[in-house]
Amino acid sequence: MGTHPRGDAIIQDNRIPQKTLGQWIAENPACLGVKVKDAFQGHLPFLFKVLSVNTALSIQAHPNKELAAKLHAQFPENYPDANHKPEMAIALTPFEGLCGFRPVEEIVSFLQSIPELRALIGEVAAEQLERSGSDDPRGVSAALRVCFTRLMKSEKKFFVDQLNTLVKRISQEVAEGKDTSGSNGDLLLRLHSQYPGDIGCFTIYFLNLVRLEPGEAMFLGANEPHAYLHGDCVECMACSDNTVRAGLTPKFIDVLTLCEMLNYTPAPSSSKIFPAVQSQLDPNIYLYDPPVPDFTIMKIEIPSSIKLYLVSAVESASILLVIQGTAVGTSTAAASEMTLRRGSVLFISANESISLHLSSPDGMLLFRACCLL
């Protein structure tokens, strides 16, 4: 849902001459709101998505603006625009993902208990990480970079052999009823069944496993390594399709770029959960406001006791998505009333409001993406 050239949203109202949202905004740029129009050169600055992740999505990171421009100039077929792509995922169901580097002691523990992993990293790099003290963050990051780069650049035949040995060993332990949590056995076997022989299977020993409950979020800034593993979420991001991938994918991978660009600062998984803040103006709204200007998301939970609700005007164009519940929407901007149900998507111009006449017995759940400069 947005205006990126690779997926410009289709307008369903056939009374409107423009067929896509991008075309309509180009003809009606004031709909963005003055600040957004000026700051983003007349373009809608965000993309809004719903993802249903059944098999893991690739180990990846997104470049900052400077690197994005460089990659786009050099390899436009793989990096289709010059924009950065910070993004946020908000869980709709229990959700699992990998995000950011684990605390070093966790990685060291895996290096000591999983000989196949240590063989890929090599003794010298492994010992360097073991010796790096917590009082020297730069030393830790440097050692982590060496270890992760050694892993990702392993020769294919060598890492496939090590992976097969590890999978065989853990499968045997599972069959014998042993606890394999010390080697992240369940997750390894699951990823290996989805992507057999893929180097990405080993990244679970470097990256935090983050579990989100519905309504919890994670924010992925530039150069943050991540992969979505399982669950449903709404996702909002800057309007870009720039992804540097390195594993768990059949798509183009660019290991060198990824290993160069990553943020090698370890942090516990709990620090990766991004808090929502209840709005002071409307207790039904929770704001997810990341440290980038491109987007903010609102979760709007309307209880069953409310039968008339005003989706209030903001100074930015926004996209409203219905997750559950039904209502009839009316607005001064729309020529006729709109029936809203699960899966309905509305584009709302800046400074426009919508009245919802709720008809579902159990209230509504909506998400709204906008740009609050």
Domain boundaries, the chain: 33-99+210-258, 103-205, 277-370
pLDDT-flagged residues of the chain (< 50): none
* Residue 343 confidence (pLDDT): 97
Output the known binding site for Zn(2+): 60, 62, 87, 226
Per CATH, 33-99+210-258 and 103-205 having the same topology is answered no
* CATH class of domain segment(s) 103-205: mainly alpha
Q: Give tens-digit pLDDT for 1-15.
A: 999 999 999 999 989
- Calpha distance 30→92 (Å, rounded): 33
Report the pLDDT value the prediction gives residue 226, as an integer from 0 to 100: 98
Name the active-site residue from 102, 118, 245, 368.
245
CB neighbours of residue 170 within 10 Å: 21
Pick the CATH number of 277-370 from 3.30.70.1230, 2.40.70.10, 3.30.565.10, 2.60.120.10: 2.60.120.10
Secondary structure string (H, E, C) spanning the chain: CCCCCCCCCECCCCCCCCCEHHHHHHHCHHHHCHHHHHHCCCCCCEEEEEEEECCCCCEEECCCHHHHHHHHHHCCCCCCCCCCCCEEEEECCCEEEEEEECCHHHHHHHHHHCHHHHHHHCHHHHHHHHHCCCCCHHHHHHHHHHHHHHHHCCCHHHHHHHHHHHHHHHHHHHHCCCCCHHHCHHHHHHHHHHCCCCHHHHHHHCEEEEEECCCCEEEECCCCCEEEEEEEEEEEEECCCCCEEEECCCCCCCHHHHHHHCCCCCCCHHHHCECCEECCCCCCEEEECCCCCCCEEEEEEECCCCCEEEECCCCCCEEEEEEECCEEEECCCCCCCEEECCCCEEEECCCCCEEEEECCCCCEEEEEEECCC
Active site residue 131: no
Question: What pLDDT sits at residue 364?
Answer: 98
pLDDT at 334: 86
Angle between helical axes of 123-131 and 137-152 (0-180°, round to 10)? 160
CATH H-level superfamily of 33-99+210-258: Jelly Rolls (2.60.120.10)
Per the DSSP assignment, residues forming a β-bridge with 297 are 288, 369
Which residues participate in the annotated binding site? 60, 62, 87, 226
Whose tokens are 């579990």? That residue is: 211
